Structure 1
Amino acid sequence: MTGYNAVSARNTERAPQGTGPYSQTVAFSHYNNISAQLPIDPASGAVVAGGITAQAEQCFKNIKAIVESINHKLTDIVRISLFVKHSSDIDAVHAVHARFFPDYVPALTTVVVGALPLDALVQVEALVSHGEGTIPNAPQAGDLVKVAKNTERAPLSPLSTQSVAFSHYNNLSAQLPIDPATGKLVAGGIKEQTRQCLKNIKAILEGIDVPFDDIVRITVFVKNLSDLDAVNGVYTTFFPDSAIARTVGYLPARTNVAVSALPLDALVQIEAVVSHGDGTPPQAVEDRHGIVIKANNTDNAPKSTLSTQTVAFSHYNHLSAQLPLDPKTGKLVAGGVKEQAGQCLKNIKAIVESIGHALDDVVKVNIFLKNIEDAAAVDEAYASYFPGGVPARRTVGVAALPEGALVQIDAVVSNAEGTPPSA
C-alpha cells in the first residue's frame, strides 16, 4: 500500500535475540512497540548473575540498546511497564528505573506477577514515540512534540508522569486507589478502591480536557480474581460516561489480570490508553480534529457486556483480551494449553478479519499464562498464526485467569486507513 504506513519490525544484536518468536521492536505510524525485556546478557544469552538490582539494570540496558538502534533515545519513551516477581523487590526496581530517567519520567505501570520466563526476577517493557512515522520514504512529522502533564487532583509520583501524549494517543500511568489529598490508600474494600482508581483517571483526563469516553483501552489489575464482580459493579457506574456513549453503548477494549500483588498492597490498579483527537504540536488543527473512535464486535468471537472486542482510533486498533472460549457455546474449549492458546488466537484472528485486517497487521501481543511452564506449548500454537515472528510480545505468569483458563491473549493492531473525521 504505497503512501500508507507500513509495519516496521527491527532487531539489534546489542539486545537479546532468539528468545522467542517475536521482534524486539515493531513500529507503526507514530509509535514503536518494544517487546518486554528480560535480564538477559545479549553476549551470553543467559540471565545475568546477581540479584534484583543487577537484573533490573540489564533489562533497562536492553531497552536502551533497542531504542538507540532505531535512532531514538530514552526520553522518547512514553510508557514503561515493570513486571516484578517479588513485591519486596519493587523499591529496588524503582530505584534503577529512576537512574535511567533522571529528569523526564514516562507513564508507569508496576505489578507483581506470578512468574516470568527463565525464572527472571523482573521484566521491563516500553512504548516509544516515533515522530518520523512509518510511511516508506516519506517522513510524516519528525517534529511532533511529546506532551507530559500532571494534575494535583490525582496522585503525584516522582517516578512517573500521570499522562504522556504523543500524536493521537495519551498513555496514563496506572492508577492505584490513592486519595490525592492524603497520598494514602482510601479506606474500605475493593469497591471503594476501584472507585478511587477510576476517579483518579477521570481527574487526570479532566486536567487535559479529554472526556472520559475517549478511553479506548482499560487494563484492570486485581489482587484477587474473586473481586472482579465487585470491580465490574463499580466499573459500570463509570462506563459509558456521556449521553452519546450511552446511546451507542460504547465501552473500551479491556483486559483483566489477576496479579500476585500491587504497590502499597492495593487490591486493584487500573491503566488506561486514551484517544487524543487534538494530537500534539505542531500538527495542524485541520489535520487533527474530528477523528472518531470506531468500536466493533463480531459474532465470530466471544462478546462481553463490559467491553468491546476492538476499538480503533487513528492508526491503531486495540483488542480486548481473548480467553479460550468457543464463541458459539461461550465455554472453554476442550484440551490443554495448546488447544486453549489456539482458541485465543482464533478469536483474535476472527476479530481482526472482521474489521478488514489480517494478522500481519498485528504489532503487539500480550500473553498471560496460568503456568509459565506452558510457554513452549503456547509458542507451538502461536507459530502457526505468526510464522514470521513479527509482532512485539510480552509473556507473564499470572495468579489466575477468568473462567479457570490456562491462557489469555490480547493484541494491538495497526490501522493504516486510520479512522475518519466526523461528518
Structure 2
Amino acid sequence: MIPKKVNSIVARNTEKAPKSIGPYSQTVAFSHYNNLSAQLPIDPKSGKLVVGGIKEQAEQCFKNIKAIVESIDNVMNDVVRITVFVKNIKDSMLVDEVYKTFFPNYVPARTIVAVTALPMSVLVQIEALVSNGKGTIPNAPQAGNLIKLINNTGNAPSCPLSSQTVSFSHYNNLSAQLPIDPKSGRLVIGGVKEQAGQCLKNIKAILESIDVPFDDIVKINIFVKDLSDIEAVNEVYTTFFPDSAIARSTAYFPASTVIAVAALPMDALVQIEAVVSHGDGTPPQAVEDRHGIVIKANNTKNAPNGPLSTQTVAFSHYNHIAAQLPLDPKTDTIVVGGIKEQTKQCLKNIESILRSINHAMDDVVKVNIFLKNITDIDAVDEVYKEFFPGGIPARRTIGVSALFKDALIQIDVVASNAEGTPPQISHLI
C-alpha cells in the first residue's frame, strides 16, 4: 500500500537566530508560506539585546530574520511581506536606512506602525511572511518553481521601499494603505471618515489593477490612532463591503482585526491592510476559474459574533480568524477575572471557531497577541501553554493603547487548512 503524503505543518528553529522568549517557534511552514515569529533585536550568541539605538536594533532584527530564512534554504528575496513595529514613529526613517541594505533591489509588501509597547522594552520588532515554493507535502514538492508577482499601479500611492502587492501562490499580500491621494501624494483633507475612505479606495485601485474583485479580500487589519474613531470608520467600511451581488446576498464581510496604535506614518488617523485571495495562483500553477477555489466564510454561535466581521474566512490552504476578545459568547460580556481568565476566554473562542469548521488548535500556524499591558505576557504564557503545549505556532506580541470593552487582551490567529477549499482537494496525493 502506498503511504499517504499529507500536507503538514513544519515548525523549525535555528541556533543562528535567538531562541524564542516564549512558547513558540521561529518559523512555521504550511503549504506555500513560511510564517515567521516577530523578531526582537536579540544577539543569538549572547541572548541579550544588542547595544545601541534604533539602527542597531533594526539591523539585528533583520539579521535574525535573514538567519531564519537562510536556515530553511530560502533567501531574503523570498520575503513577501514585512511588518515593522516601532515605539516611536519618527524612528521609521532610521529603520528604512537599515531596511534598504537587506532589500537593495526587490522590495516586499510592507506595514509600519508605532505601538504602545514591545516585549523587553525594545525600540523595534520586525516580522516576515516568506514564500515556500516547494510546499509542505513530505517528499513531494508541490511547485518548486512558483514565482512571486509584484504589482504597482499609478492609481494608488507608491513607495520606493515597498511593493503595493506581492502575490505568491493563492494569495495577494498588500502593503498597508495610508489615506494618501495618489495624485498629490499627500494625505486627503478631512477627518477619519475621509481618511478611511481613501485607504479603502487605494486598496480597491490596487485590486482592480490586478483584476481581482474587492470581495476577494479575506482578512482586513485596521490600525487606528483613536479606538473611538472605529464607529466612523465602520460607516465608511460598510459602503465598500459587501461589494458584489453575490457578497451582498450572503452579507459577506472579511475576517477583521482592529488595532489601536500609538502613531501612524504621516500622522495619519487610520491605516488599512488587506490579505486577498488569488484564485488564479502564480505560475506555473494552472490557471483556474477565479471562483473555482472558493472563499468559505463561517460563523458559529459558540463564539462571539461581530456584525461587520466573519469569524473565519478560509481560502485555499489557510483559515484567517478574526480577532477574539475575552467575551462570553452567551452574554457578550467580558469574562470575570484578570488577564489569565481573559486570555483563556480568547483562546476558547478561537478553539470554538476552529472546531466549528472541523479544525483544531493544532492547525494554528500563527498567533497575534495584543495586550493593554505588555508585562502581562508571563501570565498570558501560563494559559497559552494549555492550548499550545508544544509551543508550535509562530507568534507576535505587541502592546496596544486600548481594546474594545476595556479588555486586557485580544488574539487573532491564522490556521492551516489542509483540505483546501473546493474544488481544490490536495491534502492527500
In the superposition, the TM-score normalised over structure 1's length comes to: 0.99
- CA 1:191–1:356: 2 relative to 1, 3 Å: same
Q: Choose the corresponding residue for 2:349, options 342, 347, 350.
A: 347
Counterparts of 1:191-230 in structure 2, within 5 Å, are 191-230=193-232
Which residue is equivalent to 2:179?
A: 177
Fraction of identical pairs, as percent: 72
Q: Does 1:417 align with 2:426?
A: no
Contact map agreement 1:365 1:391 (CA 8 A) in 2: yes
CA distance, structure 2, for counterparts of residue 112 and residue 94 of structure 1: 14
Which residue is equivalent to 1:248?
A: 250
CA distance, structure 1, for counterparts of residue 169 and residue 90 of structure 2: 37
Which residue is equivalent to 1:68?
A: 70
Which residue is equivalent to 2:108?
A: 106
The unaligned stretches of length 5 or more in structure 2 are 425-429
CA distance, structure 2, for counterparts of residue 56 and residue 2 of structure 1: 43
In the superposition, the TM-score normalised over structure 2's length comes to: 0.97
CA distance, structure 1, for counterparts of residue 94 and residue 208 of structure 2: 33
Contact map agreement 1:85 1:122 (CA 8 A) in 2: yes
Deviations 1:338-394 (A, max 9, x none): 110000000000001110011110000000000001010111110000000000000
Which residue is equivalent to 2:427?
A: none
Which amino acid counterpart does residue 271 of structure 1 have in structure 2? E
Which residue is equivalent to 2:148?
A: 146
Q: Choose the corresponding residue for 1:385, options 384, 387, 393.
A: 387
Which amino acid counterpart does residue 97 of structure 1 have in structure 2? Y
Which residue is equivalent to 1:97?
A: 99
Shift of 1:318: 0.1
Which residue is equivalent to 1:83?
A: 85
Shift of 1:97: 1.1
Which residue is equivalent to 2:301?
A: 299
Contact map agreement 1:279 1:288 (CA 8 A) in 2: no
CA distance, structure 2, for counterparts of residue 288 and residue 17 of structure 1: 41
CA distance, structure 2, for counterparts of residue 38 and residue 67 of structure 1: 15
Which residue is equivalent to 2:369?
A: 367
Which residue is equivalent to 2:331?
A: 329
Which amino acid counterpart does residue 184 of structure 2 have in structure 1? T
Shift of 1:284: 1.5
Shift of 1:94: 1.5
Which residue is equivalent to 2:21?
A: 19
Shift of 1:289: 6.3
CA distance, structure 2, for counterparts of residue 287 and residue 111 of structure 1: 36
Q: Choose the corresponding residue for 2:267, options 265, 284, 301.
A: 265
The DSSP-based 3-state class of the residue aligned with 1:104 is coil
Q: Choose the corresponding residue for 2:60, options 55, 58, 61.
A: 58
CA distance, structure 2, for counterparts of residue 127 and residue 18 of structure 1: 17
Shift of 1:203: 0.1
Regions of 4+ moved over 4 Å = 286-289
Which amino acid counterpart does residue 45 of structure 2 have in structure 1? A
Deviations 1:178-219 (A, max 9, x none): 000000000000000000000000000000000000000000
The unaligned stretches of length 5 or more in structure 1 are none
Task: Kindly tell me the number of residue pairs found equivalent between the two proteins.
Answer: 422
